[in-house]
Amino acid sequence: MSRLNETHDPALQSWLASANLAGQDFTIQNLPFAVFRRAGSGEPFRGGVAIGDAIVDLAKLAEAGVLDGAAAAALAAAAQPSLNDFMAQGQAAWSALRLALSRALRAGSPLEGALRECLVAQADAEYTVPARIGDYTDFYTSIHHATNVGRLFRPDNPLLPNYKWVPIGYHGRASTIGVSGQTFRRPLGQTLPPGAERPVFGPSQRLDYELELGIFIGPGNAQGTSIKLDDAEAHVFGLCLLNDWSARDVQAWEYQPLGPFLAKNFATTISPWIVTLEALAPYRTEWTRPADDPQPLPYLESEALRREGAFDIQIEAWLETARMREAGEAAARLSHSSFRHSYWSVSQMVAHHTVNGCGLMPGDLLGSGTESGPTPEEAGSLLELSAGGKRAVALPNGEERRFLEDGDAVILRGYCEKAGAARVGFGEAVGRVLPAAL
């Protein structure tokens, strides 16, 4: 059965002209969710849906009473100060509200007047993390990133033998996840300088970004149960952009034998907008595994996974230095990759996470891990682009970077685009480095 429905029709146009512009992330075929309020207003945060350059204020729409049935029930949950209750309702509720909004926002809709009264300009909005994130797990799903980093840390054994058999992940820190616009101080920690026998304490000198996607969980599973592979996507609300900032010098000293700790838990930046899996349906693609690689164990394998278990999402990392910002210069693109290169899929991450009886909850967040592609320009971190700091990355204004400096802002962008389908975008996830608190 096709996952496509009337909401995906590329011919659909909105009565809001900005939604129909070429290159627009927030087309009527997208309709992603966030939690927002008017900037500086002190208003309560509430759910919103992006359309063009505006936001549909879901709390105001609920007050208007123009939707009914399943869509109205879903709207009441989506209008709250966090999306957890809406996420918990499941695919039928998400689809009902998305369909109702699609019809109300289309050119010629009799509800245009009512919906116009609910619009807030995105330029006037501020955002918060869209859900109460109870737990955060970051995976390691790009074999290209794993191999590149392995060569730097373990030249004689770059890819550990378990990588091709098991989706690797670590437990992150939910309390330091922030929404786009997040600023954070350069982290302090222990590092072992080259040639030294004793570690030193101080600010990280090898601060890095990671180009990732985030996966928000919808309905969870009871502890002691597991989610089967072909049921996994029913437990996924949608995807966002994610930057898991990393202190590479701290990481190199602490990561053996138990993995990342202080090198990763000081900040993680996500985009405010969550794009639903339903909106991404036109960009599904085959999930493949090289024939000479180990094939997945049965609990991570299915015909549906092979047929359409991957998503062709373009993701980019851009750098805006303090000098660029002061001069009014545009940010420079560092890398561009696609989620289709991921060695492990969204459904495999969810199935593996729960196979031991681990219970997921609505609003939990999974990170994909750095999504590097097969070519050098598709590397998703400065660690890779600079060959571990050995090679400077030249910027258009004459500056160079091996790792991030104070004042640097990293901008992640993501979108899906192809002939015969409407563009679906993720907006931006922006974070900026402040000096260490010494």
Cite the active site residues.
Answer: 145
The DSSP annotation for 37-79 comes to EETTS-PPPEEEEEETTEEEEHHHHHHHT---HHHHHHHHHHT
Q: Which segments within 304-423 are labelled E, that is strand?
A: 310-311, 314-320, 332-338, 365-367, 393-394, 400-401, 409-416
Residue 251, annotated as binding a ligand? yes
Residue 147, annotated as binding a ligand? no
Residue 164, annotated as binding a ligand? no
Residue 53, annotated as binding a ligand? no
Residue 264, annotated as binding a ligand? yes
Place of tokens 């000096």: 435
Distances 15 to 19, 106, 130 between C-alpha atoms, Å: 8, 6, 27
Q: Which backbone phi and psi does 100 adopt, to 5 degrees?
A: -60, -40
Residue 370, annotated as binding a ligand? yes
99 within 8 A of 111, measured Cβ to Cβ: no
Q: Which segments within 156-199 are labelled E, that is strand?
A: 169-171, 177-179, 182-185, 188-191
Amino acid identity at 148: N
**Which tokens go with 85?**
């209750």
Report the alpha-carbon distance of residue 300 to residue 304 in Å, rounded. 11
Question: For residue 257, is the peptide bond before it cis, meaning its omega torsion is within 30 degrees of 0?
Answer: yes
Residue 354, annotated as binding a ligand? no
**Which tokens go with 263?**
């090198």
Distances 239 to 32, 42, 279, 346, 399 between C-alpha atoms, Å: 9, 28, 10, 10, 33
Q: CA angle at residue 318 from 189 to 364, to 5 degrees?
A: 60
Residue 127, annotated as binding a ligand? no
Report the alpha-carbon distance of residue 382 to residue 418 in Å, rounded. 29
Residue 269, annotated as binding a ligand? no
**Which tokens go with 423?**
């563009």
Residue 210, annotated as binding a ligand? yes
Residue 255, annotated as binding a ligand? yes
Residues annotated within the binding site for Mg(2+) are: 244, 264, 268
Residues annotated within the binding site for substrate are: 140, 154, 251, 255, 370
Residues annotated within the binding site are: 138, 140, 154, 210, 212, 244, 251, 255, 264, 268, 370
